[in-house]
Amino acid sequence: MPEFLTAALYKFVELPDFAELQAPLLACCESHGVKGTLLLAAEGINGTIAGPAKGVHAVLAFLRQDARLATLEHKEAWAAHMPFYRMKVRLKREIVTLGVPEVHPALMAGQYVKPEDWNRLLDDPKVVLVDTRNDYEVSIGTFQGAINPATRSFSELPGWVEREMAEGGRLAPVDGKKPKVAMFCTGGIRCEKSTAFLRAKGFDEVYHLEGGILKYLETVPEAQSYWQGECFVFDERVSVSHGLHAGHYTLCRSCRDPLSEEDRKSPLYELGVSCAHCHATTTEEQKAGYRERQRQVELAQARQQAHIGARQQDRS
């Protein structure tokens, strides 16, 4: 049976004193055996934590003691192994980096659409459906008919929007009217910010999937689903499928791209060292360093110890 509870959470809310929250929040997590990463900024909180169920719930209760976070929502999943190796509480300019300071999701986000109503929205042929995630995430799964902006980081999305708003673009006005746009992401945070950006650009009909792909996969039966493939997640599960069951992808420890079973059959794939995506971009010296790291990981596993060199990194 799974032993560790994972909780993904975020909330856009005014936190001008966010730096003062760092130390007590870290102390609370560590005292309850909880690990993961939480980001604090003036615009809110974002992150994923994992640990014993009692400890995770204690951290959530601690956060909700702050009246500004009383309505903080989270998503739960179970894991057989601890998906994180340490606890970090980081101070950031933004809890998800868009790079457009005038966008305020707490005030400007688009209209929420519940997972059970999402299919009905997508059935509208006038809706422009945009996947706001990064290219390596989209590569393993997305909604049918979704546009892939092919970004490597979320901060590239505003540039893509600007280009697509030009004449002939997929976000260009039709008969003088901007199109109806639906946006989605893993847990909801990026599409809240991206819909706020579109509203700042004059789009009136902007929608986003409440709770993100994860809530959709948890809520909508697979037989009725418009989702195709698996969903990339920023922890050691790497990907999940319908019902939030662990997926079939692993992670390249060099470039951090998700790898399918077919990817792992490539002659350029070497466990912990390289894959077909990155083999040509690293030097032999770097590969030697990765081989030593992998050797240390395997030694730690043989001793039944965790090795922090194997940790996942957030690239959003």
Which are the catalytic amino acids? Answer: 185
Question: Which residues are 44's β-sheet partners?
Answer: 12, 41
Measure the CA–CA gap between 114 and 194, rounded to whole angstroms. Answer: 17
Residue located via tokens 């792909």: 213
CA dihedral 179, 157, 105, 25 (to 10 degrees): 150
Helix, strand and coil content of the chain, in percent to the nearest 5, comes to: 35, 25, 40
Measure the CA–CA gap between 205 and 98, rounded to whole angstroms. Answer: 21
Q: What is the DSSP string of 173-216?
A: -BTTBPPEEEEE-SSSHHHHHHHHHHHHTT-S-EEEETTHHHHH
CB 191 within 8 A of CB 184: yes
